[in-house]
Amino acid sequence: MTATIQLSESKTVELSCSVCNRRKIVDMVEYLDRFDIKKLKWNCKCGSTWTANLEKRQYPRKPTGLPGYFVVFQNDKWIDSGDMVVADISSNGLGLKINRKNGLKVGDWLEVDFNLDNKSETFILKMVQVRNIHFPFVGTAFEKSDCQDPDIGFYLKEERTPSEYDAPVIRSSGKFRLKVVQGANNP
């Protein structure tokens, strides 16, 4: 099982061993400046080996698969509409999967609607701006006034499924060997 470790604002990560409870905080500044790090692998003094995905986003995304609908606006005019899937959610935007290009451009505004998969199946209706397009995936950002939506905030804090996020807990003190695993697009 692969862990996910959040990079702190101070560019450190906490490595822990769930076998012996050793813990160490590692400064990642020198690695981040030289490499596009996506994974870490470390060996604990007790002999255990761990691998983790490194989450560098300020607002981590929660994977979803929520069906929904969108309308494309350009220059305040309705251009097109269609079905979508909300691939992931963060407190400041959505990752969408759209099956056709719909004439989308970076900077366009979309009105999106979908239901969360929480107990109350909360209906969400938002305006989002297209930030990047890697068809069929479209990255969007909420309007500034929507970044603190309590429904989405509570949804993001709900317990996550073990298959997506469960990871070894990392604690105590000791010596670790850290190996930086470079991303596929690195030299």
Residue 48 forms part of a structural domain: yes
Residue 76 exposed, middle or buried by CB count within 10 Å (0-12, 13-18, 19+): exposed
Which pLDDT score, from 0 to 100, does residue 59 have?
67
Q: Taking Cα atoms as reference points, which of 68, 124, 75, 133 lies closest to residue 104? A: 133
Quickly state the pLDDT bin for 146 (edges 50, 70, 90). Answer: low
Q: What is the CATH classification number for the domain harbouring 113? A: 2.40.10.220
Residue 53 sits in the same domain as residue 69: no
Identify whether residues 11 and 34 lie together within a single domain. yes
Number of compact structural domains in the chain = 2
The average pLDDT across 77-91 equals 89
On whether the pTM is more than 0.95, the answer is no
Read off the tokens for 137: 């995936």
Task: Report, as an integer, the average pLDDT of 31-42.
Answer: 71
Asked if 76 and 29 sit in the same domain, the reply is no
**Distance in angstroms (rounded) separating the CA atoms of residues 149 and 127:** 12
pLDDT, the chain, mean: 76
The CA distance from 98 to 84, in Å, is: 5
* Residue numbers of the domain that contains 20: 3-58+164-182
Question: Rounded to an integer, what distance in angstroms lies between the CA atom of residue 66 and that of residue 168?
Answer: 28
126 and 141 both lie in a single domain: yes
Both 104 and 69 in one domain: the answer is: yes
